[in-house]
Amino acid sequence: MGVIALAAAGDSVFGSLGITPPSFYPALKENRWTAGIAAWIVGNIVSANLLNTGAFEIKYGDRVVFSKLQQGRMPSVKEVLDGLQREMELHLDENIHDYAV
């Protein structure tokens, strides 16, 4: 997204921040459409590969509340909320002596 933003409005960004553009900026500015399209394609490829790993976990501290790899599916909203509440209660029970006066 940064490359697309620089290609579209780099002069304004650098001007308003009062900084000198980096050495690659003139080439980016001359080829803004190519750079923008390339950044868009690369971004889509990277995001698609990140989604295809199958890894999705929700943690509370160091405890796993839900793991897609273990369950083989995505969680429901109720499962997430119940799991977080359970972990919060366990955390509070384990650390209640820290809060006692």
Q: What is the pLDDT of residues 46-99, one digit of tens each?
A: 877 766 667 789 998 888 999 998 898 888 999 989 999 998 888 777 766 665
- DSSP letters for 85-97: HHHHHHHHHHTHH
The predicted structure's pLDDT at residue 85 = 92
pLDDT at 1 over 60: no
In angstroms, the CA 34 to CA 17 distance is 25
- What does the alpha-carbon distance between residue 67 and residue 11 come to, in Å, rounded to a whole number? 45
Residue 36 pLDDT greater than 70, yes or no: yes
Tokens 């006066």, residue located: 101
Q: Is this prediction's pTM over 0.85? A: no
